[in-house]
Each structure stands twice: as C-alpha cells, then as structure tokens.
Chain A
Amino acid sequence: MSDQRTQGDERPPLSPPRGAAPQAQGLSDALRAQLKASLNEAIAQALKHLPIQRPMDFFVLQNTLHSFEHLPFTEGVEAAAELFKAEPWLPEEAYRRSFKEARILERDLRAVIAEQVPDAPSGVPGIDLREATLRLCRSLPPPDAGATLQWRIEEGEALKEWLSPLPRSAREALRDEGLAHEALPRLWSLAQAAARRRVSASPSELNGPVGRWRDMVLDRSQRDTDDLVVPLMIRWCIAYIDPAYSQWPMPHREEGLLKAALRLWTAPLPDPRSWLAPLRARVPALLSQSAEDVAAEALARMGVAPDEVERLIQALALSLPGWAGMIALLAERPDLAPGPLAPMSLVDFFALRLLIEEAATRSVLGLEPEAPLPPLRRSLSEAEAGREAGRREEERAWSLFNMAQIMGVGPSKFADLCRPLHELIERDNEVFRRRLWHLAFERRYRVEALDAFLARQRSPLPPQRAPWLQVIACIDDREESIRRHLEEQDPGVETFGFAGFFGVAMFYQPLGSPRARPLCPAPMTPQHWVREVPLEESEAQWSKDQSRRKVIGATLIQYAHHSQGLIGGAASALLGVAALGPMMYRLMNPRRSGQQLRLKTPKVRTRLALERPADEGPLPQAQWPSGTLAATQLFKGYTVEEMVRVVAGSLNDMGLRGPFSPLVFVMGHSASSANNPYDSDYQCGACGGGQGGPNARAFAQMANDPRVRLGLRELGVVIPDETTFIGGMQDTSDDNILFYDHELIAAQVEERLGAEGRARFMQRLDKMVGVVERARLQNAYERARRFALAPSDLTPEKALRHVEGRARDLAEPRPEYKHATNALHVICPRRRSRGLFLDRRSFLTSYHHDLDPSGDALERHCRAGVMVAAGINLQYLFSYIDNHRYGAGSKLPQNIAALVGVMDGHQSDLRTGLVWQMVEIHEPMRMLNIIEARRGVVLDALKRVPAAWQLAKNGWMQVAVYEPSADPNAGGAGAMFILSGEEFIPHTPEREEVPRRPSSRACFEGREDNVPFALIELGAPLEEPQEDHPREAHA
C-alpha cells in the first residue's frame, strides 16, 4: 500500500531540537501576547493571498492574482509564481510554436527586447546584448539536468550534431571548428569544467528557512505529514461548512470549527490513531480557551518565534488555499451560502490546523508531546547538498554548451568567451525569456487590433440614417457576434453595449421562488427588491398551479432524500429499472429531452412588481425575503423618481440620448447548461452570475412608463411617443432569444398611440422577430465552428440544432466556450467598431466622449464594465497559463463538496479558478482597452477609480486611447496612444490594409482557429421604409 511513508518506527536522524525554546508550561504572558499579535497579523497577511472565490451558485470571475496588483504586471506575475510554485508564463515551446505560425513576428520580439534589455555589448564579439537575447529566445533548448540530460548526452544527438536551428552567422562561425561530432564532445567537457568552477553550493546556502516542518521532514525522510493532516482537515471542513447537503449536520457546529472539533474529540468511543492520542488527551484543557489562545499556545509549545509565525501561517494557508479562502469568504458573506451556516472564522481554522499539524509532526519525528520542534530550516546533509549542487552544475553546463553554439562559439574560442556566457546565463534566465515571448505575443495582437481599428476609421461606413431598431446588449464578448449579425441582417439596426444589468441593481425574486438573488455587478449591493408576480387574470391559475407544485415538489424532495437511504433506497431500487427510460432519452436525445424532462418554470403570464409609491420607506428587516441579507436597507421596488434616475443614467452613459428608433430591444443574457456545477459562471457577469433577462425586462418596463418619460424629458432626454422598449434575453449557449411582456407592452402602446400605433408596433415586432431569428442562426453557425463535435456538413440550421443539444446535454462539459479568447475591450460609440470582424474576442461598451466632457460617464464605465472585463480576462489568463495551480484542472472527475465548491475526485482542496474545458482554446493576453476620448479625460477618469488605475498603471490591463482628428469631415483617422506606466506613447501603425470581406460568414467559414481582423462591407442603414407606415395590422 502507499501509506508506508507515514508509518513505521524508523526515525531519520534530524538536527537536535533547539535548546533555547520557551518552556510551554511557563508560557509568559508577554510571549503569549506577542504570539497572538503576530498570529492575527499573519492571518491578515495570509488572507491576501487566498483565492476568494464565491460559492458555486454565485460564481464571479476576478483576477486570480489580485493580491499582486500593486506590482507591475510582469513583476507581480513572477513573484506570484514563486510564492504559489506556479508557472509564470507559458512554456517557451508554446511561444516558439506561435512564432512558427507567425502569430509572433521577429519584429515583435525585437521591439520587446529593445524595451527590456539595455543596448550594451554582450562580450561576445559582434553580438550585442539584444541580439544575444533574441538568439537565445529563438534557439536555446529548455534547461535540463539529471537523467534526462544524461540521456540527451549519451543517447541523443546533443554531442553528434550542432544545435538546430542556429542563426546563420553562428553556423558560419562554427564551420571553422571542424566536424560536429568531434568539436561537440570537446565543447561539452569545456562547458562542464566551466560550470564546475562557477557553481558552488554549500549546505548552509541551501538550508534556508522553510514555511513549515512538513517541507523539512519531507526532504529528509520522504514521509509526508500532509498524508495525516490534509485528509482530516478536508473532512472536517466539508462537514463543518456543509449547509444542507449531508443528512446529518455536524453536532456542535454552532460553537465554531475549533470547538466543534474539540467537542467531537472529547466524546466517548476510541480513536485508534495513535498520532492523535496526545492531542486528544489535551482537549479538555483546550475547551475553555478561545481559538486565539489555543493557537498561541500551540505556537509556543512548538517553539515558533513570533517572527516565524507569518511564514508558518502562510505556508499552512497555501497548503489548503481553497478551503481557507472559502471560510474567509463565508465569514464575510454568509448570505451567499446555499443554506444555514455555522459561524465561520479563519482563526478557528488555523488553530485547528496548528493542533493537528503539531500532532502529526511530533508523531513523524518521534518527539515527546512537550518537546519543542526542530528549527524551521531545511536541514540537508553534506551529501544531499552536494547532490543539489551537482544538479545545478549540470544545468549550468548544459546552458553554456548550448549557448556557446548559438553564439557561434566553438571549443577553440570557448575559454576566452566563457565569462560573457556566464553573465548571459545570469541575466537571461528561462523565466525572463518566457516573459519576453509573452510580451511579444501580446504585442502582435495589440498592433493588429489597433491597426485594424484605425483602418476601420479610415474607411467610413455608409452615412448613418435613423435606424428602426436599436438593440441594447451586454458588453460581454459573447454578445459581439450576435450584435454584428443583427447589424448585418438588417442595416437599419443599431446596437449598443452596456453592462448587462442595465443600471437596474436589484434583488430579484422570480415567481414561485422563495429566495431573492442580487442581479448586479458583484461589488455592488442592491437596495431594491423586485418580484415577478402573476398578472391579475392569471392569479387563480397560478394558485392552482402552485398547490400542485407544492405537492410534487415536496414529493421530489422527499424522494431525493430517501432514495439514497437504506430502506427507501432499497424500495426505490426495486423500481429502479424505470430510470433506464429517462436516462436513455436524456443521453441519446439531449436536445429534445432537455426541453421536456425538466421542472418547468411557471407557465402563467406574469409581470414585474416594480413600482413603489413615492412615500414608502425602506422595508423593516423582518419582511426581507431570504437571500437579501447583505443589503444595508431594502426598498420594495422603485419610485418613479428612482426609475428616472436609473434610465437616464444608463442611457446617458451609453451615449443614447436620441434620436430613438421606434423600437428599442433591451437584451440581457444567460446561458443554459446541464450537469454543470459552474452554471452561474456561464451567466451574466454584470449580474453577479445571474440571468440578465429580468434586468432587461425591468429596464424596458421603466423606460415605457409615461411618467418616467416625463421625468426624462425634464432631464433633456426626449423619448418620442412612437418609441417603445421591449426587454428580452439571449441564451448565449443555445442561442435562443426570448421577449418579455409583448402583450402588456402592446396594450400600453395602444393606450399611448391608439389602435394604429399598436398595429405599427406589432408589425415592427414581427419584423424584429424575423431579424433576430436570422441573426441567431448565423450566430449559432459562427459559434459552432469552434466545436469539433458539430456535424461536419454544417449549415446555420444544423449549427443551431447542435448548440441547442449541447446546452442541454448531460454529457457535455463544454456547453459553450464562454469568454475564452477574450482579448479586447472597445469603449467607443458602435460606429467605430461596426463592420469590424472581432471574432467574439471583444467586450464592447458604448460610450460617447462628446457627450461626456467631464469624464463622469467614463469613470462609471471604469468602475463597472472595465473592472468586470479585466477580472474576467485575468482569470482566463492565469487559468490557462497554469491550469493546475491557478485553474481548476479537468472538469471530468469533479465532485461537488458542501454545496459551495468542487473538489478533484474523492477529496482535495476546493478547486478555484477555471477548468481546462473552459479555457482550452483561450489565448492568454492582457485585456486591451481601446477608449475613444481625450487622453487627459481618460487619465482623470481612471485615476478617480483607484482599482482601475492600479490595473492600468501597473499594466494588468492595456489601455489605448483613440483621439479622433479634430475635423470630423477630414475623413482621416485620428491618433492612437498607448498607456505605458503613467504616460501615453503614440502607437506606430505597422499595416495599412486590413482584408475586406463581404460578410462575417466569409470571415469565419471553414475555420476552427482564431480569425484575423477583417472589415465587413455593410449595406447602408435604411430609413424606415414607407410601406411600414400605417397599414392594416395583420392578425
């Protein structure tokens, strides 16, 4: 069995415990206070680096490395990689592949090197430092040591043939060195000798401090205390946190994690684990103490000095970051838990961990219960240190050997040029080269994006005339394609992008649900509670429906509970064959069955209870529905005045102040998926992981209200009577688009404009439905090109069927690719990006700088959309670069734990970040924001949002500013600037021409990979055709 490492009596010789450690019995008050203070400080520090990921039902994307944002991007990434033992960048190999595919050009690499490497001689004649770096990036093989290296030398080609590819000049220089298989062995032995002279590692140098004893013990004895500690901690964490899943809640959990654990340990019945016995013996004494005291005492007993506490706590936190982070989050936001929680506290968590860690370490080291532990340092012996040094030496020799060839230095010249090569190694380590590659990769996309944007400005669109339909969609990159297709299907369609909650921050309670859910960006907390209620005429039907639902629901809940029990399980198993039916149907025909075999949402017609009388104050807390705990105060709906503010604010910020088209479609979005713990992650990020439809519906209802329009008129926003808003929701997964309340709205229109107006409205609605129908077919078609399982003879119709099936398929780990490939955020009026093929890679925020001289609207965009998009982008970036550390690994073996998170398989730390199935087609690069405004305004607006300014200044997102030329009739494009630190530098275009295509379809058809930018020829937006005007309404 595999557990032999933790058992057995053999104890390795370890350095003796230090003598001067404080006596546990005579623990002085001063030391105790000092330890407690450093403990609290250490927990606060550790908290910074914990992944704060919300429970699965409220998943929101954010920067994985948020605690490093105060550092410049590259520095932060590399520091984090060291702390978390993660990969900072992709492997060099991946970038070299991109280089081969011309996704990175030599000029990008040169440009990046020019920024990062000084212009200095390298010491090798004829090659300056920059040239040397470029060569190394291109050709240096990965570092190697040990058996692999031995294999390369003995069995591989390393000593037989020159390295390949070599720069031409190097090849020529090496020609004088004779035959490869003669020169190379000599070069290798020279390199080895040179490495030996340079590298020396004494044990004292290697034996640095470690975070916790486990690292030290593992080094020495190959026995892992985590084998004892971690399963225990995870089991207790699950049992303790679990709000409602297990059938038997943990007793005493109301007393906190530590107390609950201690109480369980004092309970009768033996525990055969001998390593825990000393701890159990001590428990009665611990029960009366606070968690802080327990932890401080444990620290003192182990002989931890106050200045070591921080390192120890951090090491402990990072050994189970997911669970620690979840406890920290739930302590802050208990309202996000799926059921009743026990009190959450990180101090409890660490106190318990320290107790268990101590017991395990003592047992593995064979120490007495009161004896202090050995110092927290690695303790390698001479022999081990020698081995370590040998490894470093080999690595160095291998680098020298390859570098020499790349620089054209053969064995004859090696002795003279050894020193500069050594210096090069110290300067250009592998991480540095990968950084260069990464920046070059980002640069290529940035240059192409900016050039395409500028090219688009140089080729003006046909003159814009009044559109008949305006569509307001979320800024989400998934909406880019549907907006493009809507515009392409009918040139009379104009689209806008605004954060998908449309300014309506609310707690929303759908019909029938007992809970309300916040629908707004995660950092906000709504103050308004909006319910969905049945229309008066459907109330009777609803109450009948409801009583049926109650009975069926209760039966289903009972069934779910008992079918996994003993007797109930046996009883249901006797009839279990019946499960074969639904199972076969669901797996064989997901598209149909997914639609039919589900718990239906109420069929009755509903409306939103949106309005509150102007004089009604906040609700008393006793009347708040469940799920709204986080609110500071709660109002039941909006007053007319508040509605005016919401509508005016959103319209103003998206630059839609008229003229309004006769029909305005407000389109929220959601995404359906089956068998997917990450469901909420697929929904609208601007709605905090909820469905954006209700917000759109509420916005339309507000904007249609005549009193609101009156209020808007006073603010200078004139919505003509002819204009009607309608809400809807796009399902980004199955491309279904639904509309809300069209009958109610039609009735309103009739009131406002009479029967003829109503007829016109209905006609436009029909026309819109037609356009939407065509656009969603094209959208599904565009999306399906990424899915290898889509039928090979794809047509738009087949694509739609395919994505519908996907979204309902229990066997589908990728219902859609979500934000994968996101890279851009265009903050401009749509006319700047309209007709530009952005390949679903761009967030699109509508913003008119002309209407916003003060930059206030831009500031609000920075606060919401820009931050949300940058968070999404960075989480994708890191989840892709190191899917194991920063991401959540594969989705396939995942196991939902305590209803709040997922583990790998049977038991593991809670996995945070994104699963590989979501990010596999992503290209990690920082978000490039293109903002159209004056530079000064942008700087001001950014600086007013400290979080956004930090991201921009430190380069966690790229900011480019487009300043249009002063003369709008000049026809030429304006100027583009890129923010670098706190300064703007002008962008130098590299390419004038961008390919033109007749349609989106011509861009993407037949391609599975990312599609380069292209200009799409759009028809002229038509004015509303004459025959659309008063005509007999059809049925």
Chain B
Amino acid sequence: MTPPPDLHTAVTYLGLIARALLLVSISAPLMSLVLLGVSTLINRPLPERRSYDLMSYTFSLSLITLLSAWGVMWAAGRSRLDLALGTLLSTSGYALDLKLRVDTAALTLLTLNFALCALVGVMAGRYLHREEGANRFAFMINLLAVSIALIASASGLDILFVGWELLGLSSTLLISFFMRRPSPVEHGLRAFAIYRVTDVGLLAGVVTAHHTYHTVNFDAIAAQAPAAPLALSLLLIWGAMGKGAMVPFTGWMPRAMEGPTPSSAVFYGALSIHASPFLLMRATPILNEHPAALWLIGLIGATTALHARMSGRVQGDVKSFLAYASISQVGLMWVEVAFGWHTLMYVHMIGHATLRTWQIIRSPSVLQERQQLIRYSGKDIGVRPRHGEARLTDRWEAAIYRVSLERWHLDDGLKSLWSRVERVLLMIDRADRAIARSLGGKERDL
C-alpha cells in the first residue's frame, strides 16, 4: 500500500532528518577523536579539562541525536535506515562501501555505547585528573566509542572488521595504560596476541565470504545464504572467540583488569566483550545454514560459562571475580545465540552491560559497602553458603578447587602450545640466518 502523496513527502522528509541526525551522532565521536589525536600529534595537546569536556559534550551530542533519530524513525514508521556515504576504495571485483545499516539492533547497541561512554567520560574526567596520560585515556575511550559505533552500524563484514580492529587496538592500549610497570604491558601484549590470533579467523572469514558471495554485505549475503560453506561459519566463530574471551582464550580477560577502573568497567564489563555475541548475531544468516555451527557456538558458550563460573567462585580479589562473572554471562549469551533467542540475548546483553559496568565502577567500594551492609543488617557477613562442592568428597573437592584456582590450566596449555610454535619459528630464524651467512650476508645485530 503506498501512502498518499503528502504523507509520502512527510515520510521522506522524516527519513532525511533521521539520516542527518544519525550522521551527526556517529560522526561526532570521530571528529572529537581526530581533534584529540591531531592536537597531540602537533604537540599542542588540549588541556586535560578540555579533553574531558570535549568528550562529555561529544557523547551527549551523539546520544541526544541518536535518540532523536530513533524517535523520528519511529514517527516515520521506519525500523531501519541505510546510510550510504560513498565508496572508500574500489578495485576490480571489490568495493569498500562506507555504508551503515542502522536497525533496531544497531540503535540499541549505539545507545548503550554512547550512554556508557558519556558516563565513563564524565567519571574519568575526575578519576584521571592529574594522571600522566589523562589525554591518552580520553583518546582511547573515544576510539572505543568509534569502533563500537562501526561494529554496531556496519552494513557488511568489512566495515565491521575495521571496527573490530580499532576495538582491539584501544583495548590493548588501555590494558597497558600504566606502561611504567611491566605487568600491564605484558597483559596488554597477551590480549593483543590473542586478538591477533583470532582476528585472523575473522579476516579469513571476510575473504571467504567475499569469495563465496562476491559481497560481504549482510543483506546481500542473507539473500543468497544457502550457499554458505561450513568453513565460513567456523572462521567467524573463531574470530568471535578472542574478544569474547571464550574457552580456551579466557585467560586474558581477568588479566586485562590493569587499566584504570573506568576503562575496565566499560571494556570488560560492557562494550568490548559484548561485541562477540553481536558479531554472531549479525552473522546468523550464515551460521543458520549449519546446525553444527550452532551446536559449536552453544557448546563453546556453555563450556565458557561453566569454566568462568568455577574459576570465578574461587577468586579472592574483586576484579578477577567480576571479570569471571562477566565472562560467564557472555558464555550464556553465546548459548542464547545458538538457540536463536536473539531478543533474549539482546535484553540480556544490555542489562548485563549496564549492571556490570556499575559493579566494576564500584569495585573499590567493596570494603566500604561491606561495612555499611554489616552495620545496616546487623549481621556479620562471614560464613559463605556452600553450593555444589558440599556434595563432593574431600579429595574431589580439593581437586576441583585446585583446577578452578588454576583456571583449568588454560593459560598453561596456551603457553606450552606457544612455546612449541616458538621453537619452530626460532628454527626457521636460525635456518634463515645460516642461509644468509652462507650467501655472504653480514650478521645484523638487533
């Protein structure tokens, strides 16, 4: 049914307005990112207070325009808008179109993104005051917002991949924010390595998708999905496992709690870890073709949830405990994706992100809140209720406790795997040097 002409015009106008608003909303953080970055690059960094003001204003602007756009879309009866911003790159057979797809899923994630980033920006302005690297922090949070915005509104796997990489970059650099101590840098590197290893899967997935469908646009893929090979699904799952901290890659996540508290909150409580179920959800048309893939997602999710729950229960420090609590919920979200419960997953994700951010932000309050609660309820919180372990024999309780405390030895396993890979690499390196020497090359000192 076509609407009457005047209404049609109105809807068109509304569509235009919504597009304009969305454009402002998504590009504002990008602008502020450029401003922060360039001012630092030309050695005229903004004063700390300015940077944080800029950040709060930007995200508030983004949030307001986004919500208005949502309202306008609703008024116009549109649940989805596409923004084609031109082609960035085009070669024979492939064009990188800067095309954004703003549907309900994207709108929700964008709202969450801007709202949390705005809050964390407000918080960090005071929390990081006088800290060396306060501007660097502002830049990174901005980068996070941009990357999540790209992931949320990507119309195809290629744009999503760009966001995915930026997300990994900002995450790594914020883990190693306190770069004068060795362990943040080491843990940042660990996260980075795991991102790299799994991102290869995503990149291979993008290429495979293009090879299969001659496009990486989600809609176009959905239209011809039946042709999906299983390998593509597996690559995408592999790609999602790293950022989602799924078994066996869980270990980087508690270790990522090295940055300032607000960044830990927004990355590992809220935005970064939820990128993985979002990716899976976007890839549903591909995954749905192979029940095996769905089973695999469910299995990985369930194992991770179990692992995180067991490891989490024995953690005696606040941030590791919260990290594992986060991971276990993301594991459940994978299970929900596997069952095709997308709406549930969505509600779960939004609620979890908000709640966990709030908990991590308050993680330094644990002692004070405990005191207040003891005082308030008139009851000592000392004895812990026992759960499943009560039913185990002593020997097995000890065994399972130890394995949980050692986090199932996942990291030890990865480490010994790596040392094997490393040995091969060193061998290649030695051979390379030997050949170079035999050809009369000079040994270069590193």
Interchain CA distance A552-B375 in the complex, whole Å:
12
Judged by a CB distance under 8 angstroms, whether A264 is at the interface is: yes
Judged by a CB distance under 8 angstroms, whether B131 is at the interface is: yes
Count, chain A residues at interface, CB 8 A: 108
The reply to whether B255 and A906 form a contact with Cβ atoms under 8 Å apart is yes
The interface-forming segment of B12-20, B232-240, B365-373 is B365-373
* Residue from B321, B394, B395 in contact with A245 in the complex, judged by beta carbons closer than 8 Å: B321
Residues of A within 8 A of B395 (CB): 267-268
The reply to whether B314 and A2 form a contact with Cβ atoms under 8 Å apart is no
The reply to whether B305 and A566 form a contact with Cβ atoms under 8 Å apart is yes
Interchain CA distance A584-B120 in the complex, whole Å:
10
Judged by a CB distance under 8 angstroms, whether B385 is at the interface is: yes
The reply to whether A890 and B178 form a contact with Cβ atoms under 8 Å apart is yes
The reply to whether A563 and B396 form a contact with Cβ atoms under 8 Å apart is no
Residues of B within 8 A of A238 (CB): 315-317
Interchain CA distance A574-B329 in the complex, whole Å:
11
* Residue from A247, A266, A267, A920 in contact with B313 in the complex, judged by beta carbons closer than 8 Å: A247
Residues of A within 8 A of B254 (CB): 906
Judged by a CB distance under 8 angstroms, whether B362 is at the interface is: yes
Judged by a CB distance under 8 angstroms, whether B384 is at the interface is: yes
Contacts A56-B367, A893-B178, A894-B364 given: A235-B186 contact, CB under 8 Å? no
Judged by a CB distance under 8 angstroms, whether A122 is at the interface is: no
Interchain CA distance A379-B389 in the complex, whole Å:
50
Residues of B within 8 A of A566 (CB): 305, 309, 328-329, 332
Interchain CA distance A574-B352 in the complex, whole Å:
7
Contacts A249-B384, A576-B353, A583-B354 given: A813-B127 contact, CB under 8 Å? yes
The reply to whether A515 and B374 form a contact with Cβ atoms under 8 Å apart is yes
Judged by a CB distance under 8 angstroms, whether A587 is at the interface is: yes
Contacts A8-B422, A892-B260 given: A570-B367 contact, CB under 8 Å? no
Residues of B400-446 whose CB lies within 8 A of A? 400-406, 409, 412-413, 415-416, 418-419, 422-423, 426
Judged by a CB distance under 8 angstroms, whether A250 is at the interface is: yes
Interchain CA distance A73-B153 in the complex, whole Å:
64
Judged by a CB distance under 8 angstroms, whether A867 is at the interface is: no
Residues of B within 8 A of A250 (CB): 314, 401, 405
Residues of B within 8 A of A895 (CB): 257, 317-320, 363
The reply to whether A271 and B354 form a contact with Cβ atoms under 8 Å apart is no
Residues of A within 8 A of B355 (CB): 563, 572-573, 576, 579
Residue of A nearest to B425 (CB): A4
Residues of B within 8 A of A273 (CB): 409, 412
The reply to whether A269 and B380 form a contact with Cβ atoms under 8 Å apart is no
The reply to whether A7 and B351 form a contact with Cβ atoms under 8 Å apart is no
Judged by a CB distance under 8 angstroms, whether A598 is at the interface is: yes
Judged by a CB distance under 8 angstroms, whether B189 is at the interface is: yes
* Residue from B314, B397, B415 in contact with A246 in the complex, judged by beta carbons closer than 8 Å: B314
The reply to whether A583 and B375 form a contact with Cβ atoms under 8 Å apart is no
Residues of A within 8 A of B348 (CB): 570, 573-574
Judged by a CB distance under 8 angstroms, whether B181 is at the interface is: yes
The reply to whether A920 and B130 form a contact with Cβ atoms under 8 Å apart is yes
The smallest beta-carbon distance between B418 and chain A, in angstroms, is: 5
The interface bits of chain B over 161-182 (1 if a CB of A lies within 8 angstroms of the residue's CB, else 0) are 0000000000000000110010
The reply to whether B189 and A2 form a contact with Cβ atoms under 8 Å apart is yes
Residues of A within 8 A of B426 (CB): 8
The smallest beta-carbon distance between B321 and chain A, in angstroms, is: 7
The interface-forming segment of A22-30, A345-353, A654-662, A672-680 is A672-680
Residues of A within 8 A of B379 (CB): 514, 550, 553-554, 557
Judged by a CB distance under 8 angstroms, whether A146 is at the interface is: no
Residue of A nearest to B194 (CB): A1
Judged by a CB distance under 8 angstroms, whether B361 is at the interface is: yes
Interchain CA distance A268-B353 in the complex, whole Å:
38
* Residue from B264, B378, B404 in contact with A248 in the complex, judged by beta carbons closer than 8 Å: B404
The smallest beta-carbon distance between A811 and chain B, in angstroms, is: 4
The interface bits of chain A over 331-365 (1 if a CB of B lies within 8 angstroms of the residue's CB, else 0) are 00000001110000000000000000000000000
Interchain CA distance A588-B413 in the complex, whole Å:
45
The smallest beta-carbon distance between A818 and chain B, in angstroms, is: 16
Residues of B within 8 A of A573 (CB): 329, 348, 351-352, 355-356
Residues of A within 8 A of B129 (CB): 788-789, 813
Count, chain B residues at interface, CB 8 A: 111
Judged by a CB distance under 8 angstroms, whether A607 is at the interface is: no
Interchain CA distance A471-B125 in the complex, whole Å:
39
Residues of A within 8 A of B256 (CB): 906
* Residue from A576, A675, A899 in contact with B362 in the complex, judged by beta carbons closer than 8 Å: A675
Residues of A within 8 A of B365 (CB): 674-676, 810
Residue of A nearest to B123 (CB): A811
Judged by a CB distance under 8 angstroms, whether B183 is at the interface is: yes
Interchain CA distance A788-B126 in the complex, whole Å:
10
Interchain CA distance A264-B129 in the complex, whole Å:
45
Contacts A573-B352, A676-B368, A677-B364 given: A557-B381 contact, CB under 8 Å? yes
The reply to whether A515 and B380 form a contact with Cβ atoms under 8 Å apart is yes
Interchain CA distance A247-B347 in the complex, whole Å:
27
Contacts A251-B394, A587-B122, A899-B367 given: A577-B375 contact, CB under 8 Å? no
The smallest beta-carbon distance between A266 and chain B, in angstroms, is: 8
The reply to whether A892 and B127 form a contact with Cβ atoms under 8 Å apart is yes
Judged by a CB distance under 8 angstroms, whether B399 is at the interface is: yes
- Which of B126, B177, B309 counts the most chain A CB atoms within 10 A? B126
Contacts A8-B419, A248-B401, A906-B257 given: A1-B190 contact, CB under 8 Å? yes
Judged by a CB distance under 8 angstroms, whether A907 is at the interface is: yes
The interface bits of chain B over 102-134 (1 if a CB of A lies within 8 angstroms of the residue's CB, else 0) are 000000000000010001001111111111000
The reply to whether A267 and B378 form a contact with Cβ atoms under 8 Å apart is no
Interchain CA distance A480-B18 in the complex, whole Å:
60
Judged by a CB distance under 8 angstroms, whether A1015 is at the interface is: no
The reply to whether A245 and B318 form a contact with Cβ atoms under 8 Å apart is yes
The smallest beta-carbon distance between A426 and chain B, in angstroms, is: 33
Contacts A246-B321, A267-B399, A896-B367 given: A906-B187 contact, CB under 8 Å? yes
Residues of B within 8 A of A894 (CB): 364
Residues of A538-582 whose CB lies within 8 A of B? 546, 549-550, 552-554, 556-557, 560-561, 563-566, 569-570, 572-580, 582
The reply to whether A905 and B409 form a contact with Cβ atoms under 8 Å apart is no
Judged by a CB distance under 8 angstroms, whether A648 is at the interface is: no
Judged by a CB distance under 8 angstroms, whether B259 is at the interface is: yes
Residues of B250-279 whose CB lies within 8 A of A? 254-262, 264
Contacts A895-B363, A897-B316 given: A569-B413 contact, CB under 8 Å? no
* Residue from A1, A236, A601, A907 in contact with B317 in the complex, judged by beta carbons closer than 8 Å: A907
The reply to whether B378 and A546 form a contact with Cβ atoms under 8 Å apart is yes
Judged by a CB distance under 8 angstroms, whether B203 is at the interface is: no
Residue of B nearest to A269 (CB): B399
Judged by a CB distance under 8 angstroms, whether A289 is at the interface is: no
Residues of B within 8 A of A569 (CB): 325, 328-329, 352
The interface bits of chain B over 340-355 (1 if a CB of A lies within 8 angstroms of the residue's CB, else 0) are 0000000110111111
Contacts A583-B357, A583-B361 given: A7-B415 contact, CB under 8 Å? yes
The smallest beta-carbon distance between B372 and chain A, in angstroms, is: 5
The reply to whether A245 and B316 form a contact with Cβ atoms under 8 Å apart is yes
Contacts A272-B416, A573-B355, A905-B184 given: A896-B363 contact, CB under 8 Å? yes
Judged by a CB distance under 8 angstroms, whether A277 is at the interface is: no
The smallest beta-carbon distance between A330 and chain B, in angstroms, is: 14
Interchain CA distance A584-B177 in the complex, whole Å:
25
Interchain CA distance A907-B407 in the complex, whole Å:
14
The reply to whether B123 and A248 form a contact with Cβ atoms under 8 Å apart is no
Contacts A566-B328, A906-B254 given: A269-B367 contact, CB under 8 Å? no
- Which of B309, B352, B355, B372 counts the most chain A CB atoms within 10 A? B355
Judged by a CB distance under 8 angstroms, whether A801 is at the interface is: no
Residue of B nearest to A806 (CB): B126
Q: Show 9 A/B contacts (Cβ-Cβ < 8 Å), sorted by A.
A: A56-B367, A251-B394, A267-B395, A513-B378, A564-B322, A566-B309, A587-B123, A788-B129, A892-B178
Instruction: Given A2-B186, A583-B357, output 10 extra A-B contacts at Cβ < 8 Å.
Output: A2-B190, A242-B316, A268-B399, A549-B377, A577-B351, A583-B354, A788-B129, A813-B129, A893-B261, A905-B187
